[in-house]
Amino acid sequence: MIFQEGIIIMMDYRKMNFDDIDQNNKEQVGAFIQQLPKTEKKQMDEMLQYFLPIWLENKVKEKTVHNLPEEDRRYLFQIILLTSFTDRGKFGLFSNKERLIQRDVAVIVDTIKNGNSGKISDLIAIFEKNAQVVKEVFVNQIEEYKLKHLSKEKKKQVGILQKREGKEKVIKEIVNNFYKKDKKVKILHDSVEQFNKNVELIDLSIYTPKALQINERLIPMIVSLISNPSCLLPQNAVNILRDVDVPNGWYAYHVLTIGEYRELCENLSDPKQWNYIAGKVCTDIKTKLSVPIDPIKKRKQIITEILDSLEDRRFEIARISMYAEIEGLLWDLSIEVHKTDSIFDESDENGKSFLEISKNEVFETTRIREVLERTALKNHVDIQFIRDFCDCIYEERNPILHGRQNCFAECKKNWICLIQKLMALEYVMGLIVDEFQRNLFNQWNNMPSEVIERLVKSYTTMMTEDHLENTTSQS
């Protein structure tokens, strides 16, 4: 087994030299790019140089995972779960007992590591018991939340009924009817089921004595998970129970690691957290600026200047520029999405007619807000981003762009607001790159299987030789 031998091979597939691929394969892969409008030879080579290694790397990974023994696959999957869920941050259950629980669990884990595999069943039993306690506490907190947030009238009605015996069913019906269409309560109820699924995903039986001996760094994470399974609770539900509202939570939830997201949720007022987020977003934007596709290339200069303005603390200039670029990128995204999901009415040469997804009708507009809300573009964008963009970014841009409002002079949360715009900019850039890459890779995946196999084989050989050469030179 791979993990028992403790062998990890790291290879940088991005170092592939495109010129080393034979001309026949290069022409096969480049066929789709050559069909793109106004694509010159130089740009075609840039696209191939950037996207081909990624596509081939994915193919090699797919093949590697497919050929893994089932036991190795199980083990690797559990490592991913363990390292994700036990990252920083906890829900705070077992606050008075956790040290004692952790001590007892650590003793059992150490016994298993020293060869007593019979103790694995004890570990599983403790985990299941603690998970059940977490679930019961979580469900009780949801019920408390629902009672707390009833209307004044309903609270009074429930209060009267609580003083009478045998009215539990009536109270439950009143509360459930009150929250029938409440989105937050739906998230809370769905989160109970998600917690159950997360618990079921955990398979502690794979942590055998051999596995623990080879990977001792996993032991603190295993102890933490078993002692306090509350880390398996969805953080968005935890935020609702705590009345925590994360600005641009849709972005943080999708982009940050579980630990980073928890850390942010628990320290929303800490400037260091937001400075960290801002740095991360700026780094991600710089990375995406290297992608050689038209929507990014034509904006590279102005987006670079936006980042320079931020470094020079010219925040208002950066903000004003971002409004225009976010909207322009969304228009470019609609064009990219239209390649596979109809958005425009192609009979309109002016490009102002669109296909309304819900009514299957044509409507005219020059506003990207309506395109986001009414066309198939909405299926390719996070629903919460659409709300944030349409209700906040789109509405606030006019008074700012027309000079009626000066954010940094008038807004107390101007720094967080600026980071929100950065998040939106990076998010839309990522959507365009992902959509272009998906369309391109789908075309390449349709190449004859023998061509794909020949490319992958050539690529693997090249990378193996490069790896061996580097190993030899280092030794």
pTM: 0.78
Q: What is the pLDDT of residue 130?
A: 93
pLDDT digits (tens, 9 = 90+) for 53-100: 999 999 999 888 888 898 888 999 999 999 888 864 443 444 556 677
* Res. 233: pLDDT tops 90: yes
The residue-averaged pLDDT of 316-332 equals 89
* Res. 33: pLDDT tops 80: no
Buried/exposed 66-80: b ≥16 CB within 10 Å, e otherwise: eeeeeeeeebeebbe
At 353 the three-state DSSP class reads strand
pLDDT digits (tens, 9 = 90+) for 294-310: 999 999 999 999 999 99
Calpha distance 2→4 (Å, rounded): 6
Q: What is the pLDDT of residue 368?
A: 87
For residue 460, give the nearest of 35, 165, 64 by alpha carbon: 64
DSSP β-bridge partners for residue 334: none
Q: What is the pLDDT of residue 97?
A: 64
At 150 the three-state DSSP class reads coil
Q: How confident is the model at residue 250 (pLDDT cuts 50, 70, 90)?
A: confident
Domain boundaries, the chain: 87-244, 264-448
More confident residue, 130 or 86: 130
Which pair of structure tokens corresponds to residue 417? 């607001």
HSE, side-chain direction, 13 A CA sphere, residue 272 = 4
Which pair of structure tokens corresponds to residue 318? 């950066």
The per-residue pLDDT of the chain, averaged, comes to: 82
Q: What is the pLDDT of residue 6?
A: 26
Q: How confident is the model at residue 143 (pLDDT cuts 50, 70, 90)?
A: very high
Buried/exposed 249-284: b ≥16 CB within 10 Å, e otherwise: bbbbbebbebbbbbbbbbeeeeeebbebbbebbbeb
Q: What is the pLDDT of residue 314?
A: 86
For residue 145, give every residue at least 6 positions away whose Cβ sits within 8 Å of its Cβ, in sequence order, or none. Answer: 185, 188, 240, 241
Phi-psi region of 389 (alpha: psi -120 to 50; beta: other; left: phi over 0): alpha
